[in-house]
Amino acid sequence: MPRTPKPVVPGWFDPDAGPAEFRLLGTRCRACDAVFFPREDCFCRNPGCAGGELVEVPLSRHGTVWSYTDAHYRPPAPYVSDPDAEWQPYTLVAVELAAERMVVLGQAAPGVTVADLEVGAEVELVPGVLDEDAEHTWRTWHWKPVAAGRRRDV
Amino acid sequence: MTSDVAVLGAGMHPWGKWGRSFVEYGTKAARNALADAGLEWNRVQSVVGAGTVRGGYPGYVAGATFARALGWQGARVTSVYAACASGAQAIGTARAQILAGMAEVALVVGADAAPKGFFAPAGGERPDDPDWLRFRVLGATNPAYFGLYARRRMALYGDTADDFARVKVKNSAAGALNPYARYRKRVTAEEVAASAVVCDPLRLLDICATSDGAAALVLSSMDFARRHGAADPVRIRAVSTATPQYPRTELDLPDIATDSAAAVPAPEAGFRSSIARYAYEEAGLGPEDLSLAEVYDLSTALELEWYEDLGLCGAGEAAKLLRDGTTALGGRLPVNAGGGLASFGEAVPAQAIAQVCELTWQLREQAGERQVPGARVGMTANQGLFGHGSAVVAVR
């Protein structure tokens, strides 16, 4: 039976968008222009704002690496991994978005290791798969170096 | 303007993995603190328990849990939970009650019994909980955030893995002299370098363990202390329980993103340095007045962040302070003279109280081989999940 694709968190991105249109979705306060990700749909968290309507806003597709790390040990639940399979480390990237002036964390695209990253390097947002169960393919976002595999020869 | 409260007694249960109930540890620490104060339990008018999420319902209502274990005697009770800052909240609550005249003597207790391995969120399917989401969506454990901060320091300031290892070497040397520490063996830089990578660039020995342990304090009004015969007690002069300023632009666990600084510019100082600033302002003191500091070294690299946030040095200068020995025992301003989390492992609600126990013993010149000579002013600093500041200034 084919698995149904589903976003790991509803409303954080459009799971049907192609790579060129794929964006994280935050919200923006109409009164003060403050931007929130993960999205705030109930209240504006700017203490100087009386509170306005919050509208959906796509975030920048490109950013620069604020920092990065990886996971050499299996994280506990609710992270999903096959306990019988040998653990494969994955990479986490914190990315600074210039327009939004915020840092957004994400897993790196599969195959990207810490050796492929450096602070300040440009990355782009790409759609990805977090895990699969019997019925669903759980979709997520990944950060990917713009020139994948590039290493600086020092 | 606030005034001082006296620390009449300090007590701990040794840190370790004892496999018993947090109630047992907390009760032992409380009895030790009462004995140290020379006070009977029935003289205590207020008991404040720092809660733990790992003790089931008794953990959530820690104040009454400890009061029951010590024997019901009718004292006013408060139970507080603020993750790693729970202990500071408990101290702050007891102090406020004493200064408001609601109680003359208060007992503060925090205890935990931690499972092995990574801290994990509460169970169930809870997509409205940021702590659950970071694990579900990213597998981002606490050490993953520590790894991000460490890498950032390396890129920004040129800190090295050797610098981080040096923090462990320093703290393990202090912990070896502390009978309450879980790890009492000196660790070498080679041993840190040979330990497994957990979250690049941090290795197992860069990251604090999770432990069982308990700490307690008996606090009183200055009047009561005098009547009790404590003419020159250690005094708590400030308790900072600050929240961050919007927009908070430092990525902090359990968040997946920072606030945006697009609509409102970022505040001049980050959250951790504001925790220290409030404490200094309340105490009427500055970093130049400190004899020692106990800071929350969840990782070796994080200890370096605290040097800068406490104003012990400028941004990016922490590794230099470490390398020249300033913050080691015998240095000008020892940091984590008790051994820090590197030697204790984290027993969440006990930890901020344990920091103040160490200051108490140091300021009384009872710290034995790890004594900081002539210590007069000590400061603790810590930070609880979701934006709970925690810092205490104690003087003698």
Nearest to A9 among B133, B199, B262 (CB): B133
Quick check: pTM over 0.90? yes
Across B390-395, average pLDDT: 98
Instruction: Kindly state the average pLDDT of the residues B21-39.
Output: 98
Q: Does B246 touch chain A (CB under 8 A)?
A: yes
Q: Where are the alpha helices (DSSP H) in chain A?
A: none
Q: Is B118 on the interface with A (CB under 8 A)?
A: yes
**CB nearest to B263's CB, from A46, A67, A130:** A46
pLDDT confidence of residue A154: 30
Partner-chain contact B260 A101, CB within 8 Å: yes
Considering chain A, what is the average pLDDT of its residues?
93
Is B262 in contact with A35 (Cβ distance < 8 A)?
A: yes
pLDDT, tens digit (0-9, with 9 covering 90-100), for B170-185? 999 999 999 999 999 9
Domain boundaries, chain B: 5-117+212-235, 130-206+237-395
Q: What pLDDT score was predicted for residue A153?
A: 36
The Cα–Cα gap between B252 and A12 comes to 20
Nearest 5°: CA angle at B187, between B181 and B188? 165
Percent with pLDDT over 90 in chain B: 95
> Can you say how many angstroms the Cα of residue B27 is from the centroid of all Cα atoms in its chain?
20
Q: What is the fold, at CATH topology level, of the domain defined by B130-206+237-395?
A: Peroxisomal Thiolase; Chain A, domain 1 (3.40.47)
* Interchain proximity A69–B152, CB inside 8 Å: no
**Cα–Cα distance, B269 to A142 (Å, whole number):** 31
Share of chain B above pLDDT 70, in %: 99
Domains of chain A and CATH, by start: 60-145 (2.40.50)
Please report the residues numbered 176 through 205 in chain B whose beta carbons come closer than 8 angstroms to any beta carbon of chain A: 196-202
Task: Determine the average pLDDT of the residues in A126-142.
Answer: 95
Q: What is the predicted pLDDT for the residue at B2?
A: 61
- Name the 3-class secondary structure at B132: helix
Min Cα separation B386/chain A (Å): 14
B259 vs A45: CB contact, 8 Å cut-off?
yes
Q: Which residues contact B87 (CB under 8 A, 6 or more apart)?
A: B50, B108, B110, B215, B349, B350, B351, B352, B353, B354, B355, B356, B382, B390
Residue A147 is predicted with a pLDDT of 75
Nearest CA in chain A to B116: A76
The percent of residues above 90 in pLDDT, for chain A, comes to 88
For residues B319-357, b (16+ Cβ closer than 10 Å) or e, as one string? bbbbeeebbbbebebbbbbbbbbbbbbbbbbbbbbbbbb
Summarize pLDDT for B93-138 with one digit per residue, the tens: 999 999 999 999 999 999 999 988 888 888 889 999 999 999 999 9
How many inter-chain contacts (A to B, CB under 8 Å) are there?
147
User: Which residues on B lie below 8 Å from A33 (Cβ)?
Assistant: 262-263
B96 touches chain A (CB under 8 A): no
Give the C-alpha distances (Å, rounded to integers) separating A65 from A9, A109, A116, B153, B316: 23, 14, 11, 13, 19
CATH code for the structural domain at B5-117+212-235: 3.40.47.10
A80 chain-B contacts, CB cut-off 8 A? 136
Confidence of residue B393 (pLDDT cuts 50, 70, 90): very high
Distances (CA, A) of A84 to A3, A74, A81, A88, B120: 22, 12, 9, 12, 20
Q: Is A138 touching B (CB cutoff 8 A)?
A: no
Summary mean pLDDT of chain B: 97
Average pLDDT over residues B219-241: 97
Token reading at B365: 């010149």
Query: Could you tell me if A79 lies within 8 Å of chain B, comparing CB atoms?
Result: yes
Specify the pLDDT at position A16.
Answer: 87
B5-117+212-235 and B130-206+237-395 agree in CATH topology: yes
* Chain B hits for A66, Cβ within 8 Å: 148, 152, 251
Average pLDDT over residues B222-245: 97
Q: State the Cα torsion B366-B369-B371-B372 to the nearest 10°.
A: 170
Chain B within 8 Å of A67 (Cβ-Cβ)? yes
Length of chain B (residues):
396
Phi-psi region for residue B345, left (φ > 0), alpha (ψ -120 to 50) or beta?
A: left
Instruction: Tell me whether residues A78 and B121 touch, CB distance under 8 A.
Output: yes
Residues of A in contact with B136 (CB under 8 A): 8, 78-80
Angle at B367 between CA B388 and CA B290, to 5 degrees: 50
Does the pLDDT value for residue A47 go beyond 50? Answer: yes
